[in-house]
Structure 1
Amino acid sequence: MIDSFQKILVIAAHPDDEVLGVGGTIPLLAQAGKTVDVLIFTDGSSTQYAGDDKILEHKFKEAELAMKTMGANLLPRMTFPDMRLDTVAHVDKNSALGEIIQKGQYDTVFVQDHTDVNRDHKEIYDSAVVACRPVPGQCVRYLLSYYVNSSTEWGNILGGQWFSPNVFVDISETLEIKLKAMEAYQTELRDHPHPRSLEGLRTAAAYFGNTVGYQYAEPFRLIFAR
C-alpha cells in the first residue's frame, strides 16, 4: 500500500509522537523518494514546562534532528496549547488542519488513533477526520491512524476501546533509524522498562512484527482509502 503514497503528512500532537508512531515508516517513504512532512500541532511544552522558553526551543531543536535522521521535513510550528487542545474550539482545529492539508496537497495523512489515553491525541484525531473527509475537491486519498508507545496501550486497557490495526509496515530495515531518531528526543526518552525507552520501542516493533510474520513492524489503522 505505501508504494501508492506520494506526498505524506504526519500529524503529531507533540514532539516525539511522529517518531513513536511512524519513525520506521517515514525513512522507508523518504528512501523511496516520497515527500514526508511532519506537523507538530501544539507548542510542545507550555503545560509540561510552563514558562520555560528555553526548553521549548530545545525540544524543537530535538525535533529538527529527529527529522534529519528520518529524512522528513518539519513544517513551521503551530502554537496550539500543549495538553489543552480540548480548550480550543473544534472548528478552529479543523480549519487549521484543513488549510495546511489543502495547501500542501497531501494524498496521505497519518494521525494518532482516537483510542489513545492522551486527550490531545483524541482531539487531533477528531479534527483530522473532519479535515480529511472524502468530499469533492479533497486531495487526501489515504487516512491512517498510528500507535503511540506510552499512550495507546493505556487507552486500550483503561478506555475500553482497542486500537485495531489493519495495516502493518515492515520496518525491519529501518528500526535502527527509528531508534536513532528517538535518541534525539532526550527530553522525552525514558529508561527501560518504560514504553518510551529504546528497548520499549524495539519490543513493541517486535510484537507487531511477529503478529504478521515480520521481524519488526509498525501498526496502522486504515480509516479510509479512495
Structure 2
Amino acid sequence: MVPTATRLGAVLVIAAHPDDEVLGCGGTVAKLAASGTAVHLTFLADGVGARCETDASLSPVDHQALDQRRNSARRAANILGATSVSFDDLPDNRLDSIPLLEITQRIEALIAQHRPSMVLTHHAGDLNIDHQRVHQAVITSCRPQRGHPVQTILSFEVPSSTEWQPPGSGAVFAPNWFVDISATLEQKLAALDAYAEELRDWPHPRSRQGVEHLARWRGATVGCEAAEAFVLARNLD
C-alpha cells in the first residue's frame, strides 16, 4: 500500500549505493512519482571505493568508474520519474569506519532540506555493512520528536545482501508492508538496465531475472502480479 499523493508529502529514499534504490524500491518510486509525489533519491557511499586496489585517493580510472555509476543513477532516476538525485562521498563498504554521529548529521541535513513524510531505506539485518549503518543512522535521524516531518519509515530488501544474512546473524527480513508494482515493474527493470555493469548472470539474485522473479514472488504472496516488500519501522497516521 502507498498513500495517495494528497495524503503523502515528499518521499526520501536513503540508500548506501547507487543501484540499491532500484533493487529495493524502484517500482514503488515509479508508482509514487506517477501519482504526483515528489521522490528524492540520495546515496551516501560512493559505491566504487571498495573495488580500488589501495585505500588511497581514487585514481583516474576509479574516478571514471565513479562518474559512470553516478550517471547510471541519474538515468535510472529519470526512468523512474524521481524528482531529484544527490550523492555523498562516504567511503564504500567502510561506513563502519565513520562515526555514526557524522552519518546521522548528513541524513538530518537531507531531512531538513526535503521535509519528507516518508523515508525508504535499508533493512537492519542486511549482510552489507554500509546498509546496516545507513539503517541505524536513519532511525537515529528520525527520532519521533514533536515537529519531525517523517511519519513513515519503511525498510526495503536488496537482493544479494538481505537474503544472504544467515539466521541468527542479524535481524530477519519479515515483510509486513507490500506495494503492488504490477503497473511499474517494467519501469523498475528498465531502470535496472541503466546499471548494466552492476548486474550479474542468472541465477545470481542481482541478475535481471532474479530481480523480476523476486517481484513476481512478492506479488504472488499478496495476490497481485508483482510487488515490493518492506518492513514497517514506524507509521503515524
Q: So what's the TM-score if we normalise by structure 2?
A: 0.92
1:120-147, Cα deviation, whole Å (9 max, x unpaired)? 0000000000101111121101111001
Match of 1:100 in 2: 110
Q: 1:34 aligns with which of 24, 34, 37?
A: 37
Gaps of 5+ in 1: none
Cα separation, 1, equivalents of 2:44 and 2:163: 22
Shift of 1:36: 0.3
Structure 1 174/78 Cα, relative in aligned 2: closer, same or farther at 3 Å?
same
The residue number in structure 1 matching 2:77 is 67
Cα displacement string for residues 177-197 of structure 1 (whole angstroms, at most 9, x for unaligned residues): 100000000221111111111
1:17 counterpart letter in structure 2: D
What root-mean-square deviation, in Å, do the aligned CA atoms of Structure 1 and Structure 2 show? Answer: 1.3
Helix, strand or coil: the match of 1:77?
strand
Report how many residues are paired.
Answer: 226
CA distance in 1, matches of 2:130, 2:188: 23
Q: Which residue of 1 aligns with 2:202?
A: 192
Deviations 1:7-66 (A, max 9, x none): 000011001000000011111000000000000111121112453110110110000000
Match of 2:156 among 124, 143, 146: 146
Aligned pair 1:9/2:19, yes or no?
A: no
**Retained in 1: the 8 A contact 2:126–2:170?**
no
Q: Please report the TM-score for the alignment, with normalisation by the length of structure 1.
A: 0.96
Q: In structure 2, what is the equivalent of residue 119 of structure 1? A: 129
Aligned-residue offset at 1:74: 3.8
SS at match of 2:88: coil
Instruction: State the SS of the aligned residue for 1:117.
Output: coil
Given the alignment, which residue of 217, 221, 226 partners 1:207?
217
- Tell me which moved more, 113-122 or 130-139: 130-139
> Runs of 5+ in structure 2 lacking a partner?
none
Change (3 A) 1:62 1:158: farther
Q: Structure 1 residues 75 and 160 mapped into 2: Cα distance closer, same or farther (>3 Å)?
A: closer
Q: Structure 1 48/23 Cα, relative in aligned 2: closer, same or farther at 3 Å?
A: same
Deviates more, 1:29-38 or 1:155-164: 155-164
Q: Distance in 2 between matches of 1:219 and 1:142?
A: 15
AA aligned opposite 2:98: V
Shift of 1:168: 0.5
Deviations 1:59-104 (A, max 9, x none): 1000000000000134331011110000000111111101110221
Q: 2:87 aligned with 1:87, yes or no?
A: no
Per-residue deviation, 1:6: 2.3
Distance 1:99 1:155 in 2: 31
Which letter maps to 2:48? S
